[in-house]
Structure 1
Amino acid sequence: MFPGLSTLFLILSGMEFLIGILGNVFIGLVLCSECVKNQKTSLFDFILTGLAISRISQLLVYFLQSLIMGLHPQVFAIFKLAKPISLLWRISNHLTTWLVTCLSIFYLLKIAHFSHSLFFWLKWRMNRVILVMLAFSLGFLILDILLLETFSDLFWNLINEGNLTLAESKTHYIKIEILLSFSYFVPIVLSLLSLFFLFQSLVKHTRNLQLNFVGSRDFSTKAHKRAMKMVTSFLLLIIVHFLFTQLTNWMFHRFLDNKFTKFIMLVLYVFPSGHSFMLILGNSQLRQIASKVLKHLKIFLKRQNPLDL
């Protein structure tokens, strides 16, 4: 029934997948080539490279799920097949979210100016702070996976023993997933704090410039505003992504046979795809290289079609 809807869904999923892959592969290739050329890498490049890799894996998981939803949605009713897909989903989402949070903290420690001794201590040990955050996020991920695995096996055993119906199991499983998804609030709160302190630093910096009769178009002001835009874009995208992730999980478990349910998943591609292009536009190095690539591509296309105006 409605074979055209499944075809349309697969086409749209494929387009969003390719757009996201192009953006993240571009970031990864540029930063890896710079690392090989300079024989060293900065903390910023390390975070962006890790983010590009995690988003490529995230997009692969999304596209795999899109293929299953478009071709054989009944697979999700099979516990042994749905379980690893759900696990890959959580791992890729977790790594991507925390790496972007590390990027927000990096912007704060690199650009903001505060006279407090704690901020100086964190700023001086910025590399260690980011590494500790990543280690903390991995511990959080392990705990998250263990809890999800424990509850999944418990519900499955209760179904096999006849103590719990499949519908009741789905309801409890959704509740557990929603509860475990509150781990998103930790990186979201950290990014909100980064944005707040960046704003506080910008206000303080602007006030000092006005007291000293200096214009507000200096490098530090531009850096503050650029960092705030990047953190704000991440927050908006991650909040939308979080809400639609919960909605998607709920819809898949409650209305798996509904032909329109799968289209909700298309919104999930926006975060790993859209934010990568925001990073390219917000980084001067990536933006310049992207401009050169587009210019060479335009010249190549003109040579291939010399009669076109």
Structure 2
Amino acid sequence: WEGISIEFSAGVVTNGYIVALNCIDWAKSRTLTSYDKIITSLAFSRFCLQFFMISNVLSKVYPNIFDRFETLQPSLVIWMFTNQVSLCFASCLSVFYCVKIATFNQSLFSWLKLRLSKLVPWLLLGSILYCLVTTVAFTLFNCVSTNGTISDNKDNLLEFTFLIHSIGSIFPLTVFIASSVLLIISLWRHIRKMNLNSDLNPNFRNPSTDTHVRALKSVVSFFIIYNIYYVASTFSIGNLSYLNAEWETWVVSFISAAYPSVHSIILILGNPKLKLASGKILHSTNCCFKESFPADELLYF
């Protein structure tokens, strides 16, 4: 479980870093780009999700923590909302990538490219409202259905959590898959076209080919870890996970903790502003460390 703790710590640091840096930029200029608005919202939701995912891990290690229905219900409600918001914001990021990068001749794409900056705040707000509706429906249902024993209420709660999570995630999951597939197809076509031109004309070289290849790798990695996380988070819900062995619980918890951390690190490495700022922070930290512990002292230790 030490590895999972490291993942949680990395997720909190990386997502907190993205939020803090963009908030500082906003405080200075009072403006944020559409991309910065999306990744800041996504990072903040993941920052909160990391804390609430800890309770899920603790429930596997110490099952008696959530024996009381009054403790289990609020925990699942908060987890469901933050998890759904995180998935929806990730879908918004995928749509943003698709509209900005993909090259299709359809009029819909041309219309979206021109108006995307104005639509982003509404996409984010719509995502929050959508998650509120699913969470409120979940809460109201459980308030009505808590008439049996504590054991029956707990089982009903876990079953309905599984149901709402699965149904409520269909829309953002579908949007994410559709936009990601369209973007992958567009990037793949562009790369093939550039390679074909290069084969026909040896003197022809388009420097954007390497950029598109890196973009394709980034999108594919995002696509893979998003879907893996969705499956892992679904199977981690309560008694419906069928995780009897400790190693199975560990694997699911490890995957669930890895997604918010790994993808946020990919976002930092792929964003020049975030990457440059993180490099400066690491350089300053290294300098402070050397000043605090001179070479002679380090050799002594």
- What is the TM-score of this pair, normalised by structure 2? 0.83
Matches within 5 A, 1:214-229: 215=204, 217-219=206-208, 221-229=209-217
- Give, in angstroms, the shift of residue 36 of structure 1: 2.6
In structure 1, the residue matched to 2:22 is 31
In structure 2, the residue matched to 1:301 is 289
- Give, in angstroms, the shift of residue 118 of structure 1: 1.3
How large is the RMSD of aligned CA atoms in angstroms?
Answer: 3.0
In structure 1, the residue matched to 2:136 is 146
- Give, in angstroms, the shift of residue 280 of structure 1: 0.7
In structure 2, the residue matched to 1:79 is 69
**Distance (whole Å) between structure 2 residues aligned to residue 260 and residue 201 of structure 1:** 40
Equivalent residues of 2:191, 2:212 under 8 A apart = no
- Give, in angstroms, the shift of residue 270 of structure 1: 0.8
- Give, in angstroms, the shift of residue 126 of structure 1: 0.7
In structure 1, the residue matched to 2:232 is 244
Tell me, yes or no, if structure 1 residue 155 matches structure 2 residue 155.
no
Tell me, yes or no, if structure 1 residue 232 matches structure 2 residue 232.
no
- Give, in angstroms, the shift of residue 296 of structure 1: 2.2
**Distance (whole Å) between structure 1 residues aligned to residue 271 and residue 243 of structure 2:** 42
Paired residues, number: 291
Matches within 5 A, 1:187-226: 187-206=172-191, 209=194, 210=196, 213=201, 215=204, 217-219=206-208, 221-226=209-214
- Unaligned residue ranges in structure 1 (runs of 5+): 1-8
Moved over 6 A (4+): 252-256, 258-261
- Give, in angstroms, the shift of residue 247 of structure 1: 2.2
**Distance (whole Å) between structure 1 residues aligned to residue 103 and residue 275 of structure 2:** 27
Alignment CA distance shift 1:180-1:68 (3 Å) = closer
Letter in 1 for 2:143: D
**Distance (whole Å) between structure 1 residues aligned to residue 142 and residue 12 of structure 2:** 32
Alignment CA distance shift 1:199-1:246 (3 Å) = closer
**Distance (whole Å) between structure 2 residues aligned to residue 137 and residue 58 of structure 1:** 16
- Give, in angstroms, the shift of residue 245 of structure 1: 1.7
Letter in 1 for 2:207: D
Matches within 5 A, 1:10-159: 11-66=2-57, 73-157=63-147, 159=148
Letter in 2 for 1:23: T
- Give, in angstroms, the shift of residue 52 of structure 1: 1.6
- Give, in angstroms, the shift of residue 21 of structure 1: 1.3
- Unaligned residue ranges in structure 2 (runs of 5+): none
Which segment drifts farther, 244-253 or 75-84? Answer: 244-253
**Distance (whole Å) between structure 2 residues aligned to residue 227 and residue 189 of structure 1:** 21
Q: Secondary structure at the residue paired with 1:40?
A: coil
- Give, in angstroms, the shift of residue 18 of structure 1: 1.8
Q: What is the aligned-residue identity percentage?
A: 25
Aligned with residue 151 of structure 2, among 166, 170, 175: 166
In structure 2, the residue matched to 1:4 is none
**Distance (whole Å) between structure 1 residues aligned to residue 204 and residue 29 of structure 2:** 36
